[in-house]
């Protein structure tokens, strides 16, 4: 019987392979069934402990080659996903969750399979060893768990109990990717529940999913990304009012809009859109992209180059201004489920899905990726923003400014949640706030 390597990306990214740590029996010192090795996450730091946060940045320096690779991957994968999915639905995607799960999978590959991973991930300039080190640094740099906000990156290896897996791979996953390891029986329904409960716990109950498994499954790599933070300047609930949102299909819906006006705030006028950002207390930010009247939101994200121009800091098509900015933002809460296998194949990752894929750094058994999925959730209100995935992310002047931007998000718009390093945690489109 053939064995499958499935990556289920939801932000959890779940890659399905199969392997065990030799025939070793590792003692388990807690009540988690099947747990072989438990990842211990970095220590939490208060959002206003500037010295501690400065030390974390100094101790976990991330190269620009790595950041640029994630950005290029974000532009390419986002254009493919937005192009192939239903344009009348809301959508949110976590490129970072997918990227981190792929990095963990790539670490177990060799030969042409590894070459295609590195190319699809735009990481050609770095070796696998450098990818592992950079991924670990980014994890520690982004990890946040304080009274105000959270940014949890979690990984888990789910390994078939009858397969021999290589200890070097498992130890590397624990060291660089904070990946806990579980030894399970994929022929039992209980395994699906264990995996689903793990996703539920690591996304703080925002993703209540049933993870599919196959009896011939070798392994699953699951990545989760959970984000919560408060606006640096909260919206006044008393100013939230009902108004009309004009959907892409021509229909109109009435929903709640949060309202805030800044006398002096940075905004950008781009080619066919206006954008402006709101900061969170832990250094991340959320940027809204409002297309000009008559411009289809999907025209702005139709190609990799257009998305790169839209999201990149430096672009000749952008005019940065400072002036009065009126925010009128609909409250919303929705999720997406995205099949990602074809997207990755279109980006050049082909060998990993074929029966002769080389994952010999993970196991000597035959293994290949059978599927890649991502599920996500996002919600915003007057207090802040909460987003999760299991793969499956200005201030004043002495005189009244002459420039002005109205971020009246009453028609389909794009948003991003971006970390302090410029890494896109989440990117999405709101076509109807009530869906």
The pTM (predicted TM-score) of the whole model is 0.87
Q: What pLDDT does residue 402 have?
A: 60
Q: What pLDDT does residue 397 have?
A: 32
Q: What pLDDT does residue 316 have?
A: 64
Q: What pLDDT does residue 370 have?
A: 86
Q: What pLDDT does residue 2 have?
A: 34
- Please list the rounded mean pLDDT of every run of 10 residues in the chain (435 residues): 34 38 32 77 74 79 91 93 80 94 94 94 89 92 88 92 89 92 89 92 91 82 94 94 90 93 90 92 91 89 90 76 91 92 94 89 87 92 94 36 73 86 85 83
Q: What pLDDT does residue 16 have?
A: 44
For the chain, the residue count is 435
Q: What pLDDT does residue 21 have?
A: 29
In whole angstroms, give the CA distance from residue 168 to residue 108: 10
Q: What pLDDT does residue 230 have?
A: 94
Q: What pLDDT does residue 86 have?
A: 65
Residues facing 221 on adjacent strands:
15, 157
| Nearest partner of 390 among 207, 220, 217, judged by Cα | 207
List the end-to-end C-alpha distance of the chain, in Å, as a whole number.
43
In whole angstroms, give the CA distance from residue 190 to residue 181: 17
Q: What pLDDT does residue 15 have?
A: 44
Q: What pLDDT does residue 83 have?
A: 84
Side-chain half-sphere exposure of 85, counting CA atoms within 13 A: 23
């Amino acid at each position: 019987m053939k064995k499958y390597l499935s990556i289920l990306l939801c932000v959890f990214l779940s890659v399905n392979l199969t392997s065990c740590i030799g025939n070793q029996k590792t003692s388990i010192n807690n009540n988690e069934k099947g747990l072989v090795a438990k990842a211990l996450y970095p220590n939490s730091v208060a959002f206003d402990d500037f010295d501690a946060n400065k030390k974390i940045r100094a101790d976990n320096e991330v190269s620009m080659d790595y950041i640029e690779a994630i950005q290029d991957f974000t532009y390419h994968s986002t254009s493919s996903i937005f192009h192939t999915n239903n344009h009348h639905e809301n959508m949110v995607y976590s490129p970072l969750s997918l990227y981190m799960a792929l990095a963990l999978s790539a670490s177990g590959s060799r030969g042409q399979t590894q070459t295609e991973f590195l190319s699809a991930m735009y990481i050609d300039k770095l070796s696998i060893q450098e990818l592992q080190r950079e991924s670990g640094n980014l994890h520690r740099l982004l990890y946040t768990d304080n009274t105000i906000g959270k940014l949890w990156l979690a990984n888990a290896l789910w390994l078939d109990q009858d397969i021999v897996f290589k200890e070097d791979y498992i130890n590397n996953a624990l060291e660089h990717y904070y990946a806990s390891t579980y030894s399970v029986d994929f022929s039992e329904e209980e395994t699906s529940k264990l995996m689903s409960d793990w996703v539920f716990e690591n996304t703080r109950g925002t993703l209540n999913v049933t993870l599919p498994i196959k009896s011939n499954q070798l392994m699953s790599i699951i990545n989760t990304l959970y984000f919560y933070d408060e606006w640096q300047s909260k919206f006044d609930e008393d100013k939230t009012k009902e108004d009309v949102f004009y959907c892409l299909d021509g229909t109109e819906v009435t929903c709640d809009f949060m309202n805030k006006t800044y006398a002096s705030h940075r905004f950008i006028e781009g080619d066919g859109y206006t954008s402006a950002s709101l900061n969170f207390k832990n250094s991340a930010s959320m940027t809204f992209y409002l297309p000009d009247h008559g411009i289809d939101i999907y025209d702005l994200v139709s190609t990799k180059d257009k998305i790169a121009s839209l999201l990149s800091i430096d672009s000749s098509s952008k005019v940065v201004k400072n002036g009065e900015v009126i925010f009128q933002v609909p409250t919303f809460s929705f999720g997406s489920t995205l099949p990602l296998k074809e997207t990755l194949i279109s980006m050049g990752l082909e060998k990993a899905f074929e029966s002769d894929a080389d994952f010999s750094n993970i196991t000597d058994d035959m293994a290949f990726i059978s599927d890649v999925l991502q599920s996500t959730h996002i919600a915003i209100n007057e207090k802040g923003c909460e987003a999760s995935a299991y793969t499956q992310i200005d201030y004043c002047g002495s005189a009244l400014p002459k420039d002005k931007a109205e971020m009246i998000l009453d028609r389909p718009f794009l948003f991003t949640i971006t970390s302090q390093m410029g890494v896109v945690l989440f990117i999405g489109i709101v076509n109807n706030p009530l869906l």
